[in-house]
Structure 1
Amino acid sequence: MLLSFIISCFLLAVSPGPDNIYLTALTSKSGKIAGLSFLTGLITGCFVHTTLLAFGLNELLIRHGFFFEIIKYSGVFYLLFLSYYNYKSEILNIYTNNNNKLFKYFKRGALMNLLNPKVFLFFTLFFPNFIYSEIYSFKLQILSLGFIFIAITFIVFGLIILFSNFIHKNFSSNNRFKIFAKYFNVLVLLFIAVLILFTENNLTLTN
């Protein structure tokens, strides 16, 4: 069962999806430090989702559809804000100093993960299928699965950062590439916002 989980996590990590596509776009545009900071934020969000599932707190979101909707629309609003921020980057970056950039990208990764109801549904539906022991508690097994998932994500996404940073180093001085990277980032963020907007909570429980 664990081997199946590891293989599934690897296939999910390498498959094109909103997170790795945006990570590629961001790193190609802003470099490996931005990519690593963003990835650290994503992983932090995954750890939070794992903890919520392990302690059964995800049931709050399942039972109360209104809370689920708050997360969904907060995520959409945040992504629209990021799209506007990227579109107006030449103006807004004047007010961003280097000391804040690491935290800025970390926060972006964490919020994009935590405010994405698709991620919540993924953890809720995917992880319990791979409970592998009748000896260890559900909580311990979910936490261990979460750490495996995080480790695989870090390795695969780390390789994506290395590849994308190669693009950044070789093309970032090209003005046409800068324009392309900027608008590609905006389009990816808008695409993720649309995906979140049409996410439905099919797990809502009735009392």
Structure 2
Amino acid sequence: MSLAFLLTTLVVVATPGTGVVYTLAAGLSRGRRAGLVAALACTLGIVPHVLATVTGLAALLNASAAAFQTLKYAGVAYLLHMAVATLRDKRTIDVDQEAAPLSAGRVIVRGVLINLLNPKLTIFFFAFLPQFVDPARPRALPRMLALSGVFMLATFVVFAGYGILAASVRSHVVARPRVMTWLRRGFAGSFAALGAKLAVATR
């Protein structure tokens, strides 16, 4: 495993995106456990993209404009749904210490869908992994899977850090409803902006 792969992975993972926004929102609203579950969910959402890459489905997605557009707009629709839900439902970003926690299943489903419905992630793996794996060498597939595992581990560690960081400042905003209102609007705006960015994305 090369240093270039590790550095590139860390840069990609740490760059704020839909998963980071979701994990921050979960940690801030429901605490450390929810932040960690959200980090795990976003990591699990990478699995289908890895499988698509190693089985060649990413090549089809890259070649077929219709397939790419279909998945892309499904992702856009879901991000806009998240934006509207965050803006309208005050419980989505609610740091009330007495609030009942969301079920782990619900947090996981949302997090998986956020990454699953992002065709750019599949294209990223399709373009990214081959740079570090020579298909002509023996055991190329196990190496690709190993590198994907490292990428997923880095994703979980970094996202968990985001979730824990958000949870650590949770107590400082409990008594500030105005701050929470603006945070909710900020998260909603972030989901909407990321959806708009995905909408204009090309392969």
- What interval of TM-score do these two structures reach, taking the shorter chain for normalisation? 0.7 to 0.9
Identity %: 24
**CA–CA distance in structure 1, aligned partners of residues 23 and 59 of structure 2:** 30
The Cα offsets for residues 119-174 of structure 1, whole Å up to 9 and x where unpaired, read as 12211111110116864433212111100001111112211111111111321342
Closer, same or farther: CA 100–178 of 1 in aligned 2, 3 Å: closer
Deviation at 1:116, TM superposition (A): 1.1
- Provide the aligned C-alpha RMSD in A: 2.4
Letter in 2 for 1:178: M
Asked if 1 retains the 8 angstrom alpha-carbon contact of 2:83 and 2:192, the reply is yes
Superposition map of 1:192-203 within 5 A = 192-201=194-203
Letter in 1 for 2:152: I
Structure richer in helix, relative to its length: 1
Deviation at 1:5, TM superposition (A): 0.6
Partner of 1:200: helix, strand, or coil? coil
- Give me the whole-angstrom Cα distance separating, in 2, the residues matched to 1:143 and 1:101: 31
Change (3 A) 1:92 1:164: closer
Q: Which residue of 2 aligns with 1:40?
A: 40
Residues 55-64 or 191-200, more deviating: 55-64
Stretches of structure 1 lacking an aligned partner (at least 5 in a row): 202-207
Change (3 A) 1:172 1:122: farther
* Separation in 1, partners of 2:65, 2:83: 27
**1:133-172 mapped onto 2 (5 Å cutoff):** 135-172=137-174
Cα distance between partner residues in 1 of 2:109 and 2:172: 27
| TM-score, normalization by structure 2 | 0.86
Which residue number in structure 1 is paired with residue 72 of structure 2? 72
Of 161-170 and 128-137, more deviation after overlay is shown by: 128-137
SS, match of residue 103 in structure 2? helix
Question: Are 2:185 and 1:183 equivalent residues in the alignment?
Answer: yes
Q: CA deviation at 1:21?
A: 3.8
- Which residue in 2 is equivalent to 1:116? 118
Matching residue of 2:96: none
Query: Does residue 58 in structure 1 map to residue 58 in structure 2?
Result: yes
State the 1:81 CA deviation.
1.1
1:21 & 1:110 partners in 2: Cα distance? 13
**SS of the counterpart of 1:84?**
helix
The alignment covers a number of residue pairs equal to 198
Contact (CA 8 Å) 1:24, 1:160: kept in 2 or not?
yes
What runs of 5+ residues in structure 2 fail to find an aligned partner? 94-98
Q: Contact (CA 8 Å) 1:22, 1:188: kept in 2 or not?
A: no
**In terms of mean alpha carbon deviation, does 11-20 or 61-70 score higher?**
11-20
CA 1:124–1:193 in 2, change beyond 3 Å: closer, same or farther?
Answer: same
Q: Is 1:129 aligned to 2:131, yes or no? A: yes
Between the aligned partners of 2:56 and 2:100, the Cα distance in structure 1 is 40
Residue 38 of structure 1 aligns with an amino acid whose one-letter code is A
TM-score when normalising by structure 1 = 0.85
- Which residue identity does 1:74 align to in structure 2? A
Letter in 2 for 1:4: A
